Amino acid sequence: MALIVEQFEQRFARHQRQMAIRATLGWLIFLAALSGAIAISHIDPGVLAQGIGKLTDFVRLMLPHLDAAHFLAGKKTVGSLAYWFYDFPKWLGLIWQSVEIAILATCLGFIGALGWSFPAARNLQMPKRITFVVRRFLELCRTVPELVTALIFVFAFGPGPLAGVLAIAIHTTGALGKLYSEVHENAQPGPIEGIKAAGASWSKVVRFGVVPQVMPNLVSYALLRFEVNVAASTAIGIVGAGGIGLQLRQAIDLNVPQDALAMIVMIIVLIFLIDLTSERVRTLFMRGQLVS
């Protein structure tokens, strides 16, 4: 008995030494990579201090000259809120175009991601070759940034919302496809095995064994992705892919920072409203109140 205890203690001590060595090597690799990243990034405290000063000056230029005495006056009165948002209808229309781009792109991306996520899941007994190819395809879709893809589509189809919709939809397919495949892999195996034992086909196993379990998560991730896509649709507009982005870039290029801030405020308020709404929808869906 004493010999068994001694052997166990020796193995445990050896295991502890191995874990300590691996942890040390891991930290050394991490610190080396971090040091390399700092060196490549040319992080200089002096440059940072100078840049912060310029940033502060730019933010100061963006702030509107509001006058409390004329705050609610018409848009022709200097110092009023209406004067600051003098082109509100046009900006609102462009922001709504960005939202519509995000809505359509999210719907297309959701459909694509849902379709590709099932063969990408390792627990649904698809041939390993197919699973490997599909997972690499989803990686390709989400690896290329929307801005780069939008540039390509603007060159191919011309400036406009179409390029933005396609660029965001492709990236959404890749991002949601990965998340959905992992959700499928975490589904409870009991219902899946029960449906298989009844002789159901692969499509019925997916339809009745997987989808009912994971649907709340699918909707939750889709709503979260929609919020991301609204922000992305404003960014890709900079390259001419529709939405408010191009107008925002023109305001900065033409040195009209107050117009840029007005549009940014509108975008932030919009995203706040979308976040509150989608959070409410997610809560109801997770409780089953929208599917009961």
pLDDT tier at 5, thresholds 50, 70, 90: low
* pLDDT at residue 39, as a whole number: 81
Pick the CATH number of 87-286 from 3.40.47.10, 3.40.430.10, 1.10.1030.10, 1.10.3720.10: 1.10.3720.10
pLDDT tier at 238, thresholds 50, 70, 90: confident
Tell me what the pLDDT averaged over the chain comes to: 85
Distance of CA 247 to the CA centre of its chain: 23
Contact 142, 178 (CB under 8 A): yes
* pLDDT at residue 292, as a whole number: 46
Res 225 pLDDT > 80: yes
* pLDDT at residue 178, as a whole number: 93
Average pLDDT over residues 255-259: 86
Helices marked H in the chain? 2-41, 45-62, 81-84, 88-120, 128-143, 146-157, 161-185, 189-197, 202-204, 211-236, 245-253, 257-286
Average pLDDT over residues 92-101: 91
* pLDDT at residue 109, as a whole number: 95
Res 289 pLDDT > 60: no
In the block, which residue shows the tokens 């709504």? 96
Q: pLDDT tens across 156-211, in order? A: 988 889 999 999 999 999 999 999 999 988 888 787 778 877 777 778 888 888 88
Give me the residue spans of the domains in the chain: 87-286
Highest mean pLDDT, choosing among 37-41, 138-142, 234-238, 252-256: 138-142
